């Protein structure tokens, strides 16, 4: 197997202000399926094309935003071997016991210099309601709502994104398909990082306040599904941010909107296939508008200021 | 029932029903200077202080509206609905943009001009 180590962002825990409103949004609008609701009130969901037990965890809290994102790794050996490397790079590692989330084995966690908590895990049960395996149909039944097939990536805002890039690339073997340069100096305003063939698994924008969430993205099949998602947003009076449009960066087709607690969501289709030997695509600061919103060719204020 | 909401920063008044949030009503004004954020009480962009009148409020993210804010009737326009005519003052990030839209000079510049 050529694809080793970190496989993908597999779990994300999001804080919501009102659980009933959040369930309606993630289940009926995005089209995720509820896997379980636990005694502590957390609700577990997954997309129709995900094999693992769940991918999205909703937690009711006093503030909206991101608790953590957890990356699935290919083995228990990797999980054991990576821990001292993380510590050697300078981050403190803590341990989350198996069963803290239903169906999930032990996790390790640490906080990036950007203020975001990242976790790694290997073991997770297969979902009962998983995609077909033997003579598989294309999907088990027609998905609800937008029919988001899986949790795809996230964009984080925080300080020291250059350090985050160093950590992901040097310790976890990610690479950087794309970046936006700061107007002056060698630093980056924004970086796109991946452990896979996807143009990004996680992205960062340099920002004063640590630990902020810009958006959580879910995968759609194509431009038609992005259009249908826009219809669903209007039919249900969901708070729209921008789109349907396209990103110059990653080339993804996209629409941004907000969950009822103000966490930004994206549904995303397309995007190029990344390889670690490709050159890093770079955008200078003067072209960032086109990079982010390819059709509008201008950033809006909301992209830089509206965060949870 | 419809109420009148006055934005004190720019002397603009708009109608707002009890089924509408203060922000939804304000959005209908169609001014570019109304920086609409998430509309869900999470991001804190639409901070306003209610200076008179009564209203109902839904849950707002504690990271953007503190208990001290709430005791001063500083709230998020996207999470409040009017139950009477209201006067509000836009505070925080919305203020500058709105003032620019209404072409009202920033207070500090006005005072400098007055001194000069
Ligand atoms: Fe995205």
* Predicted ipTM beyond 0.95: no
Write out the catalytic residue numbers of A.
153, 200, 215, 247, 256, 266
Q: CA-CA-CA-CA torsion for A135, A137, A141, A146, nearest 10 degrees?
A: 140
The answer to whether residue A16 sits within a structural domain is yes
Report how far residue B94's alpha carbon sits from residue B22's, in angstroms, rounded to the nearest whole number. 14
The answer to whether residue A139 sits within a structural domain is no
Give the pairing of strands A33-37 and A43-46: antiparallel
Contacts of B91 (CB under 8 A, 6+ apart): B47, B48, B49, B74
Residue B17 belongs to a domain with what CATH number?
3.10.20.30
- The answer on A280 and A158 residing in a single domain is yes
- The answer on A183 and A253 residing in a single domain is yes
Is the confidence at residue B106, as pLDDT, over 60? no
- The answer on A300 and A157 residing in a single domain is yes
The answer to whether residue B116 sits within a structural domain is no
- The answer on A301 and A155 residing in a single domain is yes
Closest partner residue to A17 (CB to CB) among B45, B59, B93 is B59
The answer to whether residue B76 sits within a structural domain is yes
Q: How many domains does chain B have?
A: 1
Q: Is A298 on the interface with B (CB under 8 A)?
A: no
The answer to whether residue B30 sits within a structural domain is yes
The answer to whether residue A205 sits within a structural domain is yes
- Per-residue H/E/C for A77-109: HHHHHHHHHHHHHCCCCEEECCCCCCCECCEEE
Closest partner residue to B42 (CB to CB) among A262, A301, A302 is A262
Confidence of residue B104 (pLDDT cuts 50, 70, 90): low
Residue A179 belongs to a domain with what CATH number?
3.10.180.10
- The answer on A101 and A167 residing in a single domain is no
Is the confidence at residue B99, as pLDDT, over 70? yes
Q: By residue range, what is the domain housing residue B63?
A: 2-111
Report how far residue B91's alpha carbon sits from residue B69's, in angstroms, rounded to the nearest whole number. 11
- The answer on A171 and A34 residing in a single domain is no
Q: By residue range, what is the domain housing residue A100?
A: 6-121
Report how far residue B7's alpha carbon sits from residue B89's, in angstroms, rounded to the nearest whole number. 6
For residue B48, give the 3-state DSSP assignment. strand
Total-model pTM: 0.93
Q: Which of B37, B78, B94 to mutate to test the interface with A (most CBs of A within 10 A)?
A: B37
CA distance A304 to chain B (A): 11
- The answer on A216 and A108 residing in a single domain is no
Cα Rg, chain B, nearest whole Å? 14
The answer to whether residue A161 sits within a structural domain is yes
Report how far residue A178's alpha carbon sits from residue A202's, in angstroms, rounded to the nearest whole number. 11
Q: Which of A153, A154, A172 is nearest to A93 (CA)?
A: A172
Last residue of a domain, one of A103, A121, A139: A121
Confidence of residue B109 (pLDDT cuts 50, 70, 90): very low
Question: pLDDT in tens for each of the 308 residues of chain A?
Answer: 688 999 999 999 999 999 999 999 999 999 999 999 999 999 999 999 999 999 999 999 999 999 999 999 999 999 999 999 999 999 999 999 999 999 999 999 999 999 999 999 999 999 999 999 999 999 988 999 999 999 999 999 999 999 999 999 999 999 999 999 999 988 999 999 999 999 999 999 999 999 999 999 999 999 999 999 999 999 999 999 999 999 999 999 999 999 999 999 999 999 999 999 999 999 999 999 999 999 999 998 889 899 99
The answer to whether residue A216 sits within a structural domain is yes
Last residue of a domain, one of A72, A106, A121: A121
The answer to whether residue A270 sits within a structural domain is yes
- The answer on A163 and A43 residing in a single domain is no
- The answer on A299 and A156 residing in a single domain is yes
The answer to whether residue A91 sits within a structural domain is yes
The side-by-side arrangement of strands in the sheet containing B47-52 is: B12-17, B2-7, B86-90, B47-52, B74-76
Closest partner residue to B62 (CB to CB) among A63, A260, A263 is A63
Is the confidence at residue B101, as pLDDT, over 80? no
The reply to whether residue A264 touches residue B39, judged by beta carbons under 8 angstroms, is: no
- The answer on A63 and A172 residing in a single domain is no
- The answer on A156 and A102 residing in a single domain is no
- The answer on A204 and A107 residing in a single domain is no
The reply to whether residue A17 touches residue B60, judged by beta carbons under 8 angstroms, is: yes
Last residue of a domain, one of A80, A104, A121: A121
Q: How many domains does chain A have?
A: 2
The answer to whether residue A146 sits within a structural domain is no
């Amino acid at each position: 197997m050529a694809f080793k180590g970190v496989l993908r962002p597999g779990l994300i825990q999001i804080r919501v202000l009102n659980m009933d409103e959040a369930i309606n949004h993630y289940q009926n609008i995005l089209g995720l399926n509820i896997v379980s609701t636990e005694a502590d009130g957390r609700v577990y969901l997954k997309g129709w094309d995900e094999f693992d037990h769940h991918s999205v965890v909703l937690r009711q809290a006093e503030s909206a935003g991101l608790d953590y994102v957890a990356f699935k790794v290919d083995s228990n050996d990797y999980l054991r071997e990576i821990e001292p490397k993380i510590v050697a790079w300078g981050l403190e590692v803590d341990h989350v016991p198996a069963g803290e989330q239903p169906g999930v084995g032990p996790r390790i966690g640490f906080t990036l210099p950007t203020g975001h908590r990242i976790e790694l895990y290997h073991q997770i049960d297969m979902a009962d309601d998983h995609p077909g395996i033997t003579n598989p149909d294309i999907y088990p039944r027609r998905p609800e709502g937008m029919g988001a097939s899986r949790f795809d990536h996230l964009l984080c805002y925080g300080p020291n994104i250059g350090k985050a890039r160093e950590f992901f690339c040097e310790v976890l073997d990610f690479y950087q398909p794309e970046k936006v340069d700061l107007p002056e100096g060698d630093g980056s305003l924004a970086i796109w990082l991946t452990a896979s063939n996807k143009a990004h698994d996680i992205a960062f924008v340099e920002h004063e306040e640590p630990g902020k969430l810009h958006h959580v993205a879910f995968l759609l099949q194509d431009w038609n599904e992005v259009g249908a998602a826009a219809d669903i947003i209007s039919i249900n009076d969901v708070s729209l941010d921008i789109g349907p449009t396209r990103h110059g960066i990653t080339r993804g087709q996209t629409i941004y909107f907000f969950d009822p607690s103000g966490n930004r969501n994206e549904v995303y289709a397309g995007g190029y296939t990344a390889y670690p030997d490709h050159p890093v695509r770079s955008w200078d600061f003067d072209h960032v508008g086109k990079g982010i919103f390819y059709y509008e060719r201008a950033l809006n204020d909301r992209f830089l200021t509206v965060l949870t | 029932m419809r109420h009148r909401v006055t934005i004190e920063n720019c002397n603009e008044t708009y109608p707002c029903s009890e089924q509408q949030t203060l922000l939804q009503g304000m959005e209908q004004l169609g001014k570019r200077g109304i920086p609409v954020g998430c509309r869900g009480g999470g991001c804190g962009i639409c901070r306003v202080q209610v200076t008179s009148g009564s209203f109902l409020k839904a849950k707002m993210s504690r990271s953007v509206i503190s208990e001290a804010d709430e005791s001063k009737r500083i709230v998020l326009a996207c999470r409040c609905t009017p139950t009477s005519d209201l006067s509000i003052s836009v505070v925080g990030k919305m203020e500058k943009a709105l003032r620019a839209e209404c072409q009202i000079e920033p207070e500090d510049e006005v005072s400098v001009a007055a001194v000069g």
